[in-house]
């Protein structure tokens, strides 16, 4: 061993130690540069600490080797032997440091990955927040425009609803859960007899004439949520009845509880009246056909009975029992012939004249005929004839019969009164081209339940022997034959809205020009 040269070993040892110092320092410097470039990167930071530990170990080993060679060259090898344990301890400490750093590498990577995942979530949240913030910013910038646009849409929708509500010719109203009417349109108020600017406090119990209908209304809304085509009777302000067809829908709160309703009611009064008139017309047409068939069959034997009774009366003394019996036969036969004559008139089998008729003259003649009997019953007659009243085309005798019959009925209606009033009036409805003639009494009036029957053949409220029940039926047929209508109002509704006791019959006849035009067509 003493024969081998030590120089190569010393050169290699010194060169390796110097290079170890250089390369480890360069590695530490490079790792440091990486941490400066990416200070938030965990791996580069961890790599720097690993490099620092390895560099410390490399420096410790290199310095130890260089010190040993220097002591060896200078002949102080014994001094190295004293220092060597300490150098080895430092090397061991540095090695343990490197091992410790490497042991916690996996835990560090897991922590880094967890942090990266959280960072990714935070990044996504940041992106979403940024997007939401941009949307909010855009919404805030366009909010005013959107509010104006939405307000315009709501205004247009409300305008359409309000127009439907106000312009509807049917009754439209809203109720709350206590059946109070919250709002009602002008047509509804008019239908109930109120002015359009009135706002009466009403409930369903004030509308329905029948209390059971109110309960049925509420029950149907709760059970089904709607009401479809329910026929009912409403009370008007003056107490009269208006017939309606109801459709309603329930209104609910957030708990699906009924809190009210919205309802549309269509006025069926005119339709109901027309249907009743149609039924009456068909009924009278059937009776008229029957009357036409039997009138001629009965009239001939009645004439023979009357003739023979009158001939036999010449053979007996007026104070004899036989003569008085023949008078009874004569009287009842004449009454029967009058009924037959009414039947013939009702069936319209008798001819009708067609000429210009002044209704004022008809009224004047009728008053002249009946005035004496009216005066005996203390009935005051008021005749109001319109000046320059247009003429109508018709049969003056038949029209006079109608007016006289209405006056006689009014006379009967005021029987038992200490003093009654009979008002007869004519006027011209220029806009309608109609002549209107009215006969009004201050009698007891006509009950609602029989109003629909008064024009039926043989219907009468008079005692037996006082009437046949054909007078109004014949009058109805005569007015229809003249192209007009006959209306009834009982009790009487005045123009100022007041209601008075009595009955008013209104004859509506077309003026001559209009009638002529109808005939020409």
Tell me the DSSP string of 118-145: HHHHHHHHHHHHHHHHHHHHHHHHHHHH
Q: Does the global pTM surpass 0.85?
A: no
Asked which of 204, 232, 267 is the last residue of a domain, the reply is 267
Instruction: Say whether both 332 and 462 belong to one domain.
Output: no
What's the number of CA atoms in the CB half-sphere (13 Å) around residue 147? 6
CA angle 369, 371, 373 (to 5 degrees): 100
Whether pLDDT at 448 is above 80: no
**Contact (Cβ atoms closer than 8 angstroms) between residue 269 and residue 245:** no
Question: Which of 290, 428, 276 shows the shortest CA–CA distance to 360?
Answer: 428
Indicate the pLDDT class of residue 49, thresholds 50, 70 and 90: confident
Strand partners, 234: 208, 242
User: What percent of the chain has pLDDT above 70?
Assistant: 79
The bridge status of strand 434-441 relative to strand 503-510 is antiparallel
User: Domain residues for 55?
Assistant: 7-103
The rounded distance, in Å, linking the Cα atoms of 89 and 85 is 6
Instruction: Say whether both 193 and 287 belong to one domain.
Output: no
pLDDT value at residue 362: 87
The rounded distance, in Å, linking the Cα atoms of 184 and 190 is 10
Q: What is the pLDDT of residues 393-406, one digit of tens each?
A: 888 888 888 888 88
Instruction: Say whether both 361 and 279 belong to one domain.
Output: no
DSSP string, 447-472: -HHHHTTTTSTT---SPTTT--S-HH
pLDDT value at residue 168: 76
Q: What is the pLDDT of residues 451-491, one digit of tens each?
A: 666 766 665 655 544 555 566 777 777 888 888 888 888 88
For CA atoms 424, 426, 427, 432, give the dihedral sign. Answer: positive
The rounded distance, in Å, linking the Cα atoms of 259 and 261 is 7
List the end-to-end C-alpha distance of the chain, in Å, as a whole number.
Answer: 157
Asked which of 346, 372, 407 is the last residue of a domain, the reply is 346
Whether pLDDT at 519 is above 50: no
pLDDT value at residue 521: 37
Indicate the pLDDT class of residue 267, thresholds 50, 70 and 90: confident
Instruction: Say whether both 360 and 289 belong to one domain.
Output: no
DSSP string, 353-414: --EEE-HHHHHHHHHHHHHHHHHHTTEEEEEEPPTTPPPEEE-HHHHHHHHHHHHHHHHHHT
Number of domains in the chain: 4
Indicate the pLDDT class of residue 146, thresholds 50, 70 and 90: confident
Is 68 exposed, middle or buried (CB count within 10 Å of its CB: 0-12, 13-18, 19+)?
buried
Instruction: Say whether both 366 and 512 belong to one domain.
Output: yes
**Overall average pLDDT of the 47-54 stretch:** 76
Token pair 């006509």: residue: 446
The rounded distance, in Å, linking the Cα atoms of 421 and 444 is 12
Instruction: Say whether both 52 and 90 belong to one domain.
Output: yes
pLDDT value at residue 218: 85
Q: What is the pLDDT of residues 274-316, one digit of tens each?
A: 776 666 666 666 666 666 666 656 777 877 887 888 888 888 8
The answer to which of 26-35, 388-397, 512-521 has the lowest mean pLDDT is 512-521
Question: Which of 273, 195, 278 shows the shortest CA–CA distance to 238?
Answer: 195
Question: Which of 365, 422, 427 shows the shortest CA–CA distance to 396?
Answer: 365
Structural domain includes residue 133: no
Structural domain includes residue 52: yes
Instruction: Say whether both 368 and 507 belong to one domain.
Output: yes
Indicate the pLDDT class of residue 104, thresholds 50, 70 and 90: low
User: What percent of the chain has pLDDT above 90?
Assistant: 0
Higher pLDDT, 471 or 326: 326
Mean of the per-residue pLDDT values for the chain?
77
The rounded distance, in Å, linking the Cα atoms of 393 and 481 is 11
Whether pLDDT at 338 is above 80: no
Structural domain includes residue 93: yes
The rounded distance, in Å, linking the Cα atoms of 437 and 456 is 22
The rounded distance, in Å, linking the Cα atoms of 265 and 267 is 7
Q: What is the CATH number of the domain that holds 360?
A: 3.30.565.10
Whether pLDDT at 516 is above 60: no
The rounded distance, in Å, linking the Cα atoms of 230 and 208 is 12
CA angle 189, 190, 194 (to 5 degrees): 65
**Overall average pLDDT of the 147-167 stretch:** 68
Q: What is the CATH number of the domain that holds 260?
A: 3.30.450.20
The answer to which of 23-37, 109-123, 127-141, 453-467 has the lowest mean pLDDT is 453-467
pLDDT value at residue 235: 86
Asked which of 299, 329, 346 is the last residue of a domain, the reply is 346
The bridge status of strand 379-384 relative to strand 181-184 is unpaired
Instruction: Say whether both 304 and 182 belong to one domain.
Output: no
Instruction: Say whether both 502 and 373 belong to one domain.
Output: yes
Exposure string of 159-191, with b = 16+ CB inside 10 Å and e = fewer, is: eeeeeebeeeebbbbbbeeebebeebbbbbbeb
Whether pLDDT at 410 is above 70: yes
DSSP string, 383-396: EEPPTTPPPEEE-H
DSSP string, 270-301: HHHHHHHHHHHHHHHHHHHHHHHHHHHHHHHH
355 alpha carbon, distance to own chain's centre: 53
Structural domain includes residue 135: no
pLDDT value at residue 515: 41
Instruction: Say whether both 372 and 480 belong to one domain.
Output: yes
Indicate the pLDDT class of residue 520, thresholds 50, 70 and 90: very low
Instruction: Say whether both 475 and 455 belong to one domain.
Output: yes
């Amino acid at each position: 061993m003493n024969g081998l040269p030590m120089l190569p070993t010393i050169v290699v040892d010194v060169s390796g130690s110097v290079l170890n110092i250089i390369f480890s320092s360069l590695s530490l410097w490079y790792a440091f540069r990486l941490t400066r470039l990416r200070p938030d990167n965990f791996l580069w930071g961890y790599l720097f600490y690993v490099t620092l530990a390895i560099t410390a170990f490399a420096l410790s080993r290199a310095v130890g080797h260089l010190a040993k060679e220097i002591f060896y060259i200078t002949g102080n090898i014994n001094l190295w032997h004293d220092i060597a344990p300490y150098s080895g301890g430092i090397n061991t400490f540095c090695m343990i440091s490197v091992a410790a750093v490497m042991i916690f590498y996996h835990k560090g990577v897991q922590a880094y990955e967890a942090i990266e995942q959280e960072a990714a979530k935070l990044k996504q949240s940041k992106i979403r927040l940024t997007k939401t913030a941009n949307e909010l910013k855009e919404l805030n910038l366009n909010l005013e425009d959107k509010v104006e646009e939405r307000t315009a849409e709501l205004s247009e929708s409300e305008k359409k609803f309000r127009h439907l509500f106000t312009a509807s010719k049917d009754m439209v109203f809203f109720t709350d859960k206590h059946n109070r009417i919250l709002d009602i349109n002008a047509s509804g108020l008019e239908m109930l007899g109120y002015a359009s600017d009135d706002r009466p406090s009403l409930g369903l119990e004030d509308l329905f004439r029948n209390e059971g209908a109110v309960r049925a209304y509420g029950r149907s809304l709760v059970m089904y949520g709607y009401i479809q085509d329910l026929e009912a009777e409403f009370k008007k302000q003056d107490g009269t009845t208006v017939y309606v067809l109801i459709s309603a829908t329930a209104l609910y709160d957030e708990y699906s509880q009924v809190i009210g309703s919205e309802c549309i009611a269509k006025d069926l009064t005119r339709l109901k009246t027309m249907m009743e008139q149609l039924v009456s017309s068909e009924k009278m047409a059937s009776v008229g056909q029957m009357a036409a068939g039997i009138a001629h069959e009965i009239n001939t034997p009645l004439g023979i009975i009357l003739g023979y009774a009158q001939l036999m009366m010449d053979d007996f003394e007026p104070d004899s029992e036989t003569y008085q019996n023949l008078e009874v036969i004569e009287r009842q036969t004449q009454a029967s012939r009058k009924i037959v004559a009414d039947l013939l008139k009702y069936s319209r089998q008798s001819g009708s004249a067609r000429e210009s008729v002044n209704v004022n003259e008809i009224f004047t003649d009728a008053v002249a005929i009946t005035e004496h009997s009216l005066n005996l019953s203390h009935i005051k007659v008021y005749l109001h004839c319109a000046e320059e009243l247009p003429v109508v085309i018709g049969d003056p005798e038949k029209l006079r019969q109608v007016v006289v019959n209405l006056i006689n009925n009014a006379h009967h209606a005021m029987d038992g009164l200490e003093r009654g009033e009979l008002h007869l009036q004519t006027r011209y409805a220029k806009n309608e081209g109609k002549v209107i003639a009215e006969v009004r009494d201050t009698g007891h009036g006509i009950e609602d339940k029989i109003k629909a029957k008064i024009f039926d053949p043989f219907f009468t409220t008079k005692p037996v022997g006082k009437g046949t029940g054909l007078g109004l039926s014949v009058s109805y047929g005569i007015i229809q034959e003249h192209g007009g209508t006959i209306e009834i109002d009982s009790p009487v509704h005045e123009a100022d809205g007041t209601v008075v006791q009595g009955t008013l019959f209104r004859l509506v006849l077309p003026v001559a020009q209009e009638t002529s035009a109808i005939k020409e067509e």
